[in-house]
Amino acid sequence: MTLPKPFLSDNAAAVHPRLWEAMRKADEPDNPYDGDALSAELDARFTALFGRECAALWVATGTAANCLALATMCAPHGGVVCHREAHIEVDEGGAPGFFLHGAKLMLVDDGFGSEGAKLTPESIAALIDPIRNDVHQVQPHAVAITQASEYGRSYRPDELAALGDFAKARRLGLHMDGARFANAAAFLGGSPEDAARSASGPVDSLAFGFIKNGGMGAETVVLFDPEAARQVRYRRKRAGHLQCKGRYLAAQILAMLDDGLWLANAAHANAAAQEVAAGCGDRLLHPVEANELFVRLTPAEREALRAQDFAFYDWGTDSARFVTAWNTRAEDASALGKAIAAL
């Protein structure tokens, strides 16, 4: 019997052994409930990583991480500008409506030189300028971008800088959904610190994802504004996201930061994606910059791949999505690339 070759999603992969180890070590408590020694390390560790003063709080999901951060920059009567296909709009079950108390997601389409669900100052301006100061219209308070984007594209440092300038000029908060931040950072390269800095740019907050990258149940909200950090400590509790044994989440995150495990895991997944991409030729709907591939494939072709034990999701009627992970076997990626090339 052949082993299945999983390319369904990075969010189902096993937990990395170094995280298991770290969690077991956390069995001995220090001070409980948002006060343990491991959680207390986070601020300093992320400040060092980003080279910018920040607060770092664990939460159990990316949805919570995004929404808690956004709630600090968008009042209930305001709006958050994001891409029409942003995860917060299409895949979080209305969580922004909940955490932001009915604030509106204001949707931008590709265009103005951008693609792959990335935003540009121009595309945002085209949406918000015509309604400026119209009391019948929800006004924007913040912008949310996704790094890597919903189509696996990475914002470059200069693109982030331009968005940061724009947001500042318009007095909008700038949040980054980094569910696959590590993959974007790995794509942009350098040491862990370099990668973190070039991939995060001048954002006000970042939902730094670890779960898709070998974690169990810990993401990090990184807040570069102290007042926002103060708020999130209370909002997290209020949202039922303050875990009394949070030390086990902190342990996961710290293990990820140790020796740049987060970047190594992502680099592995990215490399596997490139291996697959090598066989895709012009079937690729988007350049592959992280660990997701969107590939034009007929139903019959998809059927043929599944017959070879490749597991993946359909993407619309004529394409498929493949996702690699920290533990994707090199031989599986290589086999997939070849199988697609051979179709």
Which residues bind to a second copy, rule: CB under 8 A? Answer: 8-9, 11-15, 20, 23-24, 27-29, 31-34, 59-61, 63-65, 67, 75-79, 90-104, 135-139, 211-212, 216-217, 231, 233-235, 237-245, 248-249
Instruction: Select from 129, 188, 133 the least CA-distant residue to 156.
Output: 188
Provide DSSP, 87-121. Answer: HHHHSSTTHHHHHTTTPEEEEE-SBTTB-TT---H
Minimal distance, residue 25 CB to a second copy, in Å: 11
Residue closer to a second copy, measured from CB, 157 or 217:
217
Minimal distance, residue 105 CB to a second copy, in Å: 9
CB 296 within 8 A of CB 283: yes
Residue closer to a second copy, measured from CB, 218 or 277:
218
Taking the C-alpha atoms of residue 255 and residue 122, their distance in angstroms, rounded to an integer, is 40
How far does the chain reach from its first CA to its final CA, in angstroms? Answer: 23
Minimal distance, residue 79 CB to a second copy, in Å: 7
Minimal distance, residue 161 CB to a second copy, in Å: 28
Taking the C-alpha atoms of residue 193 and residue 148, their distance in angstroms, rounded to an integer, is 17
CB 182 within 8 A of CB 260: no
Minimal distance, residue 159 CB to a second copy, in Å: 28
Residue closer to a second copy, measured from CB, 216 or 343:
216
Minimal distance, residue 189 CB to a second copy, in Å: 28
Residue closer to a second copy, measured from CB, 8 or 40:
8
Residue closer to a second copy, measured from CB, 26 or 185:
26
Residue closer to a second copy, measured from CB, 49 or 64:
64
Taking the C-alpha atoms of residue 52 and residue 77, their distance in angstroms, rounded to an integer, is 31
